[in-house]
């Protein structure tokens, strides 16, 4: 597979991915040998038989999809090198039935309650000066989750210079998974931001970049004490996006979320339509 390895490296595949693909391809070839099938001449129906066999072994759909994708890359290579004329594997489509569903959506009012409940925690929850400073910082972070729908990775990259209080805006830098964008700050975010910037005077990053994931997890645990319906930060972000889709067009929401691909935004709208259909089926007067 030396030439095939070179082909994949030229197409941006890592050595780790290449190793995984080799395992998938060898599994596929072994099955073809056992079935007395020339794998280069395999038919559509025979490929479906392979998939049925993998399901019978107990593999989840996503695992089978990964296998088929590896085989597809190999057949692309065979087409490019002139060994076969057509990549039959490209016709194979497997439904992602085991894909995780989006979490239960919170309304804009529920998100507002989450923020207000956290911001107005009683003083005995944070008696020391250090605890009070941490709470001021955490109130800002919760606001960024429930109003701007930021991820923990985006929160970690925020710097003091990204906050423009005079224009009530925040610049969110790009990450490996998201695009940069400028978002509006809510009115009740301005004073907490001003106090935090004036008192703590962060030199660069707003929050400790190496501990942002643990910090967000700890805050979610605090939030759940007052709001048991909250599961994780992903639920909050999903809710923010779903609510944005109700009052903005999908391209606007794509920008606000930082999604690189419109399909990433569309899945939230599709999930919303699916939930609506379920509700109609449950409560339709003819049911």
Give Cα separations from 278 to 210, 236, 243, 272, 275 (angstroms).
42, 22, 18, 10, 5
pLDDT of residue 272: 56
- Average pLDDT score over residue span 173-202: 92
Residues 168 and 184: their CA atoms lie apart, in Å, by 6
| Same domain as 255, residue 152 | yes
Specify the pLDDT at position 160.
Answer: 92
Q: Where are the beta strands (DSSP E) in 185-234?
A: none
Of 91, 121, 156, the position where a domain reaches its end is 91
Residue 46 lies in a domain: yes
Looking at the structure, tell me whether residues 113 and 86 fall in a common domain.
Answer: no
Radius of gyration of the chain (CA): 25
Mean pLDDT computed over 47-58: 89
Identify whether residues 168 and 271 lie together within a single domain.
yes
Q: Does the pLDDT value for residue 13 go beyond 70? A: yes
The predicted pLDDT at position 285 comes to 46
Residue 67 lies in a domain: yes
pLDDT for 280 equals: 43
- What integer is the mean pLDDT of 145-174? 94
Q: Based on the domain organization, do 220 and 125 belong to the same domain? A: yes
Residues 6+ apart with CB under 8 A from 262: 250, 251, 254
Q: Are strands 169-172 and 181-184 parallel, antiparallel or unpaired?
A: antiparallel
Taking 70 as the threshold, does the pLDDT of residue 1 lie above it?
A: no
Q: C-alpha angle with apex 44: 41 to 47, nearest 5 degrees?
A: 85
CA distances from 61 to 11, 23, 53, 160, 179 (A): 26, 17, 12, 45, 30
Residue 86, phi then psi, degrees to nearest 5: -140, 140
Range in 60-74, 75-89, 200-214, 270-284 with the lowest mean pLDDT: 270-284
| Alpha-carbon 24 to chain mean position | 26
Band the pLDDT of 201: cuts 50, 70, 90. Answer: confident
Whether residue 179 is predicted with pLDDT greater than 90 in this model: the reply is yes
In terms of residue numbers, what domain contains 61? 2-91
Question: Are 124 and 249 found together in one domain?
Answer: yes
Least confident of 84-88, 95-99, 170-174: 95-99
Whole-structure pTM value? 0.61
The tokens of 246 are what?
A: 């109700």
Q: What tokens appear for 82 in the block? A: 């002139």
Q: Are residues 25 and 130 in the same domain?
A: no
Final residue belonging to a domain, choices 59, 91, 123? 91
Is 99 a domain residue? no
pLDDT at 96 over 70: no
**pLDDT band for position 282 (50/70/90)?**
very low
Higher pLDDT among residues 6 and 209, named by residue: 6
User: Same domain, yes or no, for 116 and 258?
Assistant: yes
Q: Domain tally for the chain? A: 2
- Domain boundary (44, 66, 91) is at 91
Task: For residue 245, tell me if it sits in a domain.
Answer: yes
Identify the bridge partners of residue 205 per DSSP, sorted by sequence position. Answer: 159
Predicted confidence at residue 263, as pLDDT, reads 87
In a domain, 11, yes or no: yes
Query: Which string of DSSP letters, residue by residue, matches 140-188?
Result: HHHHHHHTS---HHHHHT-BGGGEETTTTEEEE---SSS--EEEEPPHH
pLDDT average, residue stretch 204-211: 78
CATH code (residue 259): 1.10.443.10
Split at pLDDT 50, 70, 90, the class of 105 is confident
3-class secondary-structure state, position 205: strand
* Residue 51 scores a pLDDT above 70: yes
Q: Are residues 264 and 169 in the same domain?
A: yes
| CA distance linking residue 280 with residue 283, whole number of Å | 5
- Average pLDDT of the residues in 118-147: 87
pLDDT at 154 over 50: yes
- % of the chain surpassing 70 pLDDT: 89
């Amino acid at each position: 597979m030396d030439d095939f390895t070179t082909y994949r490296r030229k197409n941006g595949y890592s050595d780790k991915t290449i190793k995984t693909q080799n395992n998938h391809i060898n599994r596929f070839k072994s099955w073809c040998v056992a079935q007395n099938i020339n794998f280069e001449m395999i038919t559509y129906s025979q490929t479906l038989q392979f998939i049925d066999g993998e399901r019978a072994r107990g593999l989840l759909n996503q695992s089978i999809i990964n296998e088929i994708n590896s085989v597809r890359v190999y057949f692309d290579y065979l087409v490019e090198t002139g060994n076969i004329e057509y990549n039959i594997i490209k016709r194979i489509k497997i439904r992602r039935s085991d894909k995780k569903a989006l979490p239960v959506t919170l309304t804009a009012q529920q998100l507002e309650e989450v923020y207000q409940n956290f911001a107005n925690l009683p003083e005995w929850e944070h008696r020391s000066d250090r605890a009070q400073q941490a709470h001021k910082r955490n109130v800002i972070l919760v606001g960024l989750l429930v109003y701007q729908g930021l991820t923990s990775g985006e929160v970690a990259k925020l710097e003091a210079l990204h906050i423009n209080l005079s224009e009530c805006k925040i610049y969110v830098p790009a990450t490996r998974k998201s695009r940069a964008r400028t978002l509006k700050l809510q009115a009740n975010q301005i004073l907490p931001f001003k106090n935090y910037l004036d008192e703590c005077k962060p030199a660069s990053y707003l929050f400790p970049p190496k501990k942002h994931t643990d910090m967000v997890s700890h805050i979610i645990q605090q939030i759940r004490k007052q709001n048991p319906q909250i599961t994780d930060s992903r639920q909050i972000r999903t809710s923010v996006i779903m609510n944005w889709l109700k009052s903005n067009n999908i391209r606007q929401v794509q920008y606000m979320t930082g999604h690189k691909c419109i399909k990433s935004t569309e899945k939230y709208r599709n999930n919303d339509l699916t939930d609506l259909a379920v509700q109609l089926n449950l409560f339709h007067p003819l049911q």
